[in-house]
Structure 1
């Protein structure tokens, strides 16, 4: 059915995507029934209150550690909050824990620092239990500080001199796994002596759609080129593996990147792609040089929403959408809510407006890329702890960020694209919990929203707010709106003043002229 629909629309379909493995066919599995799971990892998972693996984690485990044995590259399309991070972290850690070679063998690339920090924590929860080190390259600290955590330089004996050009041969990786953003990864590739990808065995591209966008693409050719070592470079690393593991890297296939490696240690870079909205674009996927890729997806629909997510629409009878937002928030008092807007500017202004309502019994904060990283981290931490009940955010928070117990997502501005809608809605109903997504709609937005939902193959129930509750808020709304106007004008004046000072010519200093 999915194939027929795409053919009708003249969208090219890659052959390997026509018959995907449906993740729905897999069931949640208790840890004691997961085959081949290292006892140390079993204990580490239980220490973070995990007693079973979710369906996507079971499916990926089967294709990596189970019968699949990493023989094919994996492309996974699964809803937000379904457990994708652990689905790749667990098999990678299991494989690397089987031997003690200290070199960089797994790379996970993500589009933002916040996501990278979140993914590193998932790896830390299990990797440390088996003696593996996880590095982070995201630019949160100076490059020099970051290098000191990633590269280990042997101590030199007193009086011993060495050639600086030989530096890379003397240093080695201090980490087994690296979680990185594209920009900082390229910084290390281009400038960090001793940083090498020649032993890389696993590459994970998380949030694939974004990382294959034009703004991010420069990192990919570099990684693919540098992770294809010669036999001489790769052999020492493989020879040090136990027989059971080194055999895993041997193959008799003669296709793709394996051509010419018959009966030799196979240096194939094993790739895994993950997204809630995995691209079907052949030219973009072709950049990854995938090896016999296997497509795992949830259901027939291209756009996979969390299983227990409920959809509601709030029709705003007037153009004062903020009135309806306040009335809705009052109805949801005591529940964590994320309100999504269309831009950084809108996020700031809407948050200021909500704070100006004197009778709202909730703490409200804004979250956007215009804020300093330390401010965003502090705000998100307060929201996680329940100290902040409402977070007004731009799309900076919409992709991948995992915040526990978010009961409601409120979409204030309808996004243009279905992918943005999916990622926003996916901040709730995570890990198979119940969640609700409310969309505020003006009458002239109804047609666009209906088309969006038809594309996603979902529908929303009407959620009504009583006219009395709206009417009672109008006096407070008028007062809050006047305060917002004053704040906006004050901010604009300060900006103009700063700009004027920066462009005002400085007085020339008097120069003494010598009589000589």
Structure 2
């Protein structure tokens, strides 16, 4: 049997299995549009955009506008596959705010779900820059504060008079939403669905699933099937609503109805739930996309390749000796002077070790900070603020920063550890060259990694990646400091390991005493 050419096989592998993904709208065929020329744009939102220093909508924003407020009129669910930094957040925030502004009803009508707190905070800022202009309010549910504090901001509780007994069932009907739009992480969203009186999705009109591939890859307490069931009309007999919700832990039919499956306003039916799903690396897996229950979906994408790098990004490889890798990083950062840069490592442990080592180098005249999930949320927020305002020039980060985070003015991304997958490379590199700006991505490699790195870039149709040379004399000049820093790092690691072991033994002792007491 004759074998098919390898190229032909590769082409077939790249063909999406779902028919609607084979004929997408190509965003690259769309031009930017000046704010003054955007059709049907509410003048109040035009003013808000100007306050945000926007003069034009980017192509992805124009494309989504056309399919929502324009001729498309939210008739289909949208899947948006567009490079990082292309403007996807505003692409969905603007039409949703405009659509909600046409109906003066105070209830939760738009829900945006994101995988991380930091990303949710960033998206909320975009909505908050737009929504007040048309009288809408935005809420946040991410677990950064106590759930009681969140409830006080999200829910209007009924006023109770002293000395009067109230029926709890009647009271539940008097709770109301304080927000029109909610930006949430899946875990905290499920907390409110399960436990918060007055929290209902019965009026929900728009569901945004941002960073879709990550949210579909991780279950997050079955948040997606729960939301879809709670927003499906009771009249939809194709889905065994009550049985499914009961299996997810929502109890009786009475409890289910309290959460709002009777969709509508004052007896009138609610429009269907419109879904917008987005990613820079949108999955083509039919089984994963099926979870979203999309309505006549339309794909908006940039070109035929699923993996797209920012148009104005320049990629470089830095060849280095494995044992001297930190020296090459320091020399590279010194050459970049005070440009805002993010250094990515392969794990939170590597981030912590590298940051500790850099501190022992002495005065490098570079202000850098660690950023990873090992830190408390408040500490991460302070670090990010310092980085945004320029007080910190270099952020050393795990992949906590790779998804969607937008920090203005990042000129360089440095892969201290080579990414294993093209997805990771795209999301890391996408922290620079955003919104029409230029940027550089450097990847430190030793000779055994070159072939694998080339294969990764080829998946994004990038065949060339020039070498950025580090002068050997700059490496030699750093050697004495490096030797001293390594010794200090060794002592620090030993001390930290000893401290962890001591705390673990103490916990074991306390646990043993408790068992004896029982």
Partner of 1:473: 478
Partner of 1:206: 210
Q: Secondary structure at the match of 1:274?
A: strand
Preserved contact between residue 198 and residue 227 of structure 1 (Cα < 8 Å): yes
Q: Aligned partners of 1:335 and 1:135: how far apart in 2? A: 35
Q: CA deviation at 1:317?
A: 3.9
Structure 1's unaligned 5+ residue stretches are 240-264, 510-516
**Does 2:30 align with 1:26?**
yes
Partner of 1:504: 509
Residues 1:227 and 1:444: Cα distance change in structure 2 (over 3 Å): same
Q: CA deviation at 1:7?
A: 5.5
Q: Aligned partners of 1:164 and 1:57: how far apart in 2? A: 46
Cα displacement string for residues 75-107 of structure 1 (whole angstroms, at most 9, x for unaligned residues) = 000111111001000000001000101111110
Q: Secondary structure at the match of 1:100?
A: coil
Preserved contact between residue 312 and residue 438 of structure 1 (Cα < 8 Å): yes
Q: Aligned partners of 1:144 and 1:162: how far apart in 2? A: 22
Partner of 2:300: 296
Aligned equivalent of 1:368, options 369, 372, 377: 372
Partner of 1:276: 280
Q: Aligned partners of 1:216 and 1:338: how far apart in 2? A: 28
Residues 1:502 and 1:25: Cα distance change in structure 2 (over 3 Å): same
Cα displacement string for residues 282-337 of structure 1 (whole angstroms, at most 9, x for unaligned residues) = 00000111011000001121111111100000011453111111110110111011
Q: CA deviation at 1:237?
A: 5.1
Partner of 1:483: 488
Q: Aligned partners of 2:79 and 2:331: how far apart in 1? A: 43
Q: Aligned partners of 2:14 and 2:303: how far apart in 1? A: 22
Structure 2's unaligned 5+ residue stretches are 1-6, 236-260
Q: Secondary structure at the match of 1:462?
A: coil
Q: CA deviation at 1:12?
A: 5.3
**Does 2:236 align with 1:236?**
no
Partner of 1:418: 422
TM-score (norm 1): 0.90
Instruction: Write the mapping of 1:76-155 to structure 2, written as runs, cut at 5 A.
Output: 76-155=80-159
Instruction: Write the mapping of 1:63-462 to structure 2, written as runs, cut at 5 A.
Output: 63-157=67-161, 159-216=163-220, 218-230=222-234, 233-236=262-265, 265=269, 267-317=271-321, 319-458=323-462, 459-462=464-467
**Does 2:53 align with 1:49?**
yes
Q: Secondary structure at the match of 2:365?
A: coil
Preserved contact between residue 210 and residue 216 of structure 1 (Cα < 8 Å): no
Q: CA deviation at 1:211?
A: 0.6
Q: Aligned partners of 2:512 and 2:391: how far apart in 1? A: 51
Count of aligned pairs: 482
Q: Aligned partners of 2:13 and 2:80: how far apart in 1? A: 23
Partner of 2:248: none
Residues 1:318 and 1:283: Cα distance change in structure 2 (over 3 Å): closer
Q: Aligned partners of 1:374 and 1:10: how far apart in 2? A: 43
Residues 1:91 and 1:318: Cα distance change in structure 2 (over 3 Å): closer
Q: Aligned partners of 1:336 and 1:442: how far apart in 2? A: 25
Q: Aligned partners of 1:363 and 1:135: how far apart in 2? A: 34
Q: CA deviation at 1:166?
A: 2.4
Q: Aligned partners of 1:234 and 1:507: how far apart in 2? A: 53
Partner of 1:254: none
Q: Aligned partners of 2:110 and 2:336: how far apart in 1? A: 43
Q: Aligned partners of 2:186 and 2:160: how far apart in 1? A: 33
Q: Aligned partners of 1:324 and 1:434: how far apart in 2? A: 23
Q: Secondary structure at the match of 1:320?
A: helix
TM-score (norm 2): 0.89
Cα displacement string for residues 159-214 of structure 1 (whole angstroms, at most 9, x for unaligned residues) = 54321122321111111111110001111111111111111110000000011013
Q: Aligned partners of 1:508 and 1:162: how far apart in 2? A: 47
Q: Aligned partners of 2:278 and 2:184: how far apart in 1? A: 15
Cα displacement string for residues 194-252 of structure 1 (whole angstroms, at most 9, x for unaligned residues) = 1111111100000000110133360001100111234794443585xxxxxxxxxxxxx
* Cα RMSD (Å): 2.0
Partner of 1:253: none
Preserved contact between residue 31 and residue 52 of structure 1 (Cα < 8 Å): yes
Q: Secondary structure at the match of 2:370?
A: strand
Partner of 1:261: none
Partner of 1:249: none
